[in-house]
Amino acid sequence: MKYKHALFLNPYIESTATSIMRLFPPTGLEYVATSARGLADTVTLLDLRYENELTDIDKLMAFIVREIDIVFVGIGWDRQFEEIVKLLNRMPDGPTLVVGGYKATEEVETLFKRCPTIDIIVRGEGEMTTREILLGVPLPSILGLSYRTAGAVVHNGNRPLQDVDTIPAPDRRLRRNTYHMTLNGINVTNLSWDSVLSARGCPYTCKFCTFSLNPLGQKRDYAARSVDSVIEEIQGLSADAILFSDDNFFANPKRAEQICDAIIARGIRKRFIAQARIEIARYPQLLEKIVKAGFKILLIGLESPHDRILAQMNKGFDSKTIRQAFKVLKKYPIYYHGYFIYGNIGETEEEMIAIATFAKEIRVDSITFQKLRIEKFSPLKELALATPGYHVTDTGALYSDTYSHARLKKIGRRIKFLFYTPWCLLKIAHKLLAIRLFTLREFASFLQASPRLLRSIIVREVAKGRLGDTLKRALITND
């Protein structure tokens, strides 16, 4: 049968308090929705973060009953899992209900058990599997599929990973909204945002990370799209700011340089953000080109200031290498955001708190720090379970007899307030202007929606006529 109307649903509903999660599109779901083109009379993509009317569940269900005959729901994250389960259990009986995404693949058995409404779960990368469902291929013949039949759940074999150059880029025409930064309910600046996945997988083997594994334990080796296909996708985007959502955009420095060369040669004027490793400091010519091409922010996984923990994670560098890299990186007009992990196996409270001191020492512009999680296929799982006093919950949270969840949360707050001082907030404000991520007018909108502390500091300094001196001081102090 040919389906008349296929719905692809991003089920996350964000409040303005967590509005940073509204910034980027649901890229994985968009890839799958794009694969459905021509296989249903109508394809609709709904992002509930932006569908104010349809966040009313009764209205959403009425729309599905009236219009839809197959629903695909993407579950990519742990957050709001309970709310999504409740949403799935409200689904009407008529349309076929298909669920997919990273979290769905991890929780296949749980979802079938808790959600009798689910007919099919797509495991792993879903583009080809979705196409075969819509083409009417018999379910027993579709790889990467789990489904109900005769009161039982059947798991077909895993689907081999697809060549990335055969996967069409997301069709942005499916969107019903544009993506903007919002803070405290205010639309910050007129900047529109998008994301581009130029490669899948990662060549590194950090032990805390399972992003290079799909939830079936399949290793997605680093696979990069052709430079021409990436540039063609970028040129077709209307967004002002673009995130390269690759695990590491610079995994192949020569390819990254070719993309920069093409951006410069074609006169593409965008503001780019990318994830990187500190090894990028070894390539000054590449750094020069990314500045010229419009890269404004690099998101860098630093993880820890302690060599013992870096070795435990198999990061491939030590704290001295991080310090040396940042001496080079800080010469370039780029905003650097560092990722750290605390609550590691054997880590003391003093070592966790040292994250703030170390981050200020290397002069990273801002940081994110998360508690260590032990995912299903994490190479650290065996170590965690073998270490006396450490425990892993069913959801992957790690804690110990010494450091409970509550104590780790308190330590996280200490790290936050030790790093994000008033001076740090001023430095961030200045850096965003200095790298021209925002124009002055855009920055004024950003400031209006910023935390009250930052606004009060800047207003005070302006009133005293010393904002320039204060910003200069902020840039050279670590307090």
Q: Give just the sign of the alpha carbon dihedral 455, 460, 461, 462.
A: positive
pLDDT in tens, the chain (479 residues): 579 999 999 999 865 444 566 778 999 999 999 999 999 999 999 999 888 777 788 899 999 999 999 999 999 887 888 999 999 999 999 999 999 998 898 888 899 999 999 999 999 889 999 999 999 999 999 999 999 998 889 999 989 888 999 999 999 999 998 888 766 555 666 788 999 999 998 888 888 876 555 545 566 678 999 999 999 999 999 999 999 999 999 999 999 999 999 999 999 999 999 999 999 999 999 999 999 999 999 999 999 999 999 999 999 999 999 999 999 999 999 999 999 999 999 999 999 999 999 999 999 999 999 999 887 777 888 899 899 999 998 878 899 999 999 999 999 999 999 999 888 888 888 888 889 887 777 766 666 666 565 556 555 555 555 444 544 444 444 33
- The reply to whether CATH 3.20.20.70 applies to domain 197-420 is yes
Give dist(CA 74, CA 97) in Å, integer. 11
Secondary structure string (H, E, C) spanning 267-309: CCCCEEEEEECHHHHHCHHHHHHHHHHCEEEEEEEEECCCHHH
Residue spans per domain, the chain = 3-164, 197-420
By DSSP bridging, strand 152-155 and strand 186-196 are: unpaired
Contact status, residue 198 vs residue 246, Cβ threshold 8 Å: yes
CA-closest candidate to residue 411, choices 314, 342, 317: 342
- Out of 1.20.120, 3.30.70, 3.30.420, 3.40.50, select the CATH number for domain 3-164: 3.40.50
339-354 b/e (C-beta count within 10 Å ≥ 16 → b): ebbbbbbebebebbeb
In this structure, what token pair is assigned to residue 23?
A: 């910034």
Alpha carbon distances (Å) from 139 to 71, 73, 93, 134, 158:
16, 18, 19, 11, 13
Radius of gyration (Cα) for the chain, nearest Å? Answer: 23
Q: Supply φ then ψ for residue 299, to 5 degrees.
A: -105, 115
